[in-house]
Amino acid sequence: MADLGAVKRKIAELESKNDIDKAISELEKAIQDFPKEGSLLNKLGDLYIKVSRQREALEIYLRGAQVFKEETYYPNAIALCKKILRLDTERIDVYFLLGDLHKELGQRVEAANYLLEFAERKVKAGNLEEALKTYNVIKELVPNNSKILQTISAIYAQLGKKDQGAEF
């Protein structure tokens, strides 16, 4: 196993020489040795973008966000999620991940906003059960929000569970 610092220096050197393909190759190898090193995943995603490999970049950024989340580096995970959404706003699950990360940081309003985006997209896609679960999480983050309570009640009605929705 190589020294992480040496690997990063080699990649930086290759990038400075504009040898992006070789830097990508070195990063792909380094990630096998350091699978929990989110900074390598972030750099690989950035280099994929430079060579127009957006789909691969999105997957690597997501993997990096998950690694950072597992390692409790929530701000780093949030940054990678935002990179994903700048490239592809249709990555619905990233909104949920962002909501979860902000919730972990105690940022209730930000968490609720991202979860709300996720839930609204799930409703539009016809996935009412998942939307309902998410709206219930939002309800815990921002209690007594009448609009959220009305939405939960309406979803219960759409699901034929009007009795459960009556409490809202």
Length of the chain: 168
- The reported pLDDT for the residue numbered 30 is 95
pLDDT in tens, the chain (168 residues): 578 999 999 999 999 999 999 999 999 999 999 999 999 999 999 999 999 999 999 999 999 999 999 999 999 999 999 999 999 999 999 999 999 999 999 999 999 999 999 999 999 999 999 999 999 999 999 998 999 999 999 999 888 876 665 565
- The reported pLDDT for the residue numbered 161 is 79
41-61 in b/e form (b: 16+ CB < 10 A) is bbbbbebbbeeebeebbbebb
Pairwise CA distance, residues 5 & 11, whole Å = 10
- The reported pLDDT for the residue numbered 159 is 87
Pairwise CA distance, residues 74 & 100, whole Å = 10
DSSP 142: S
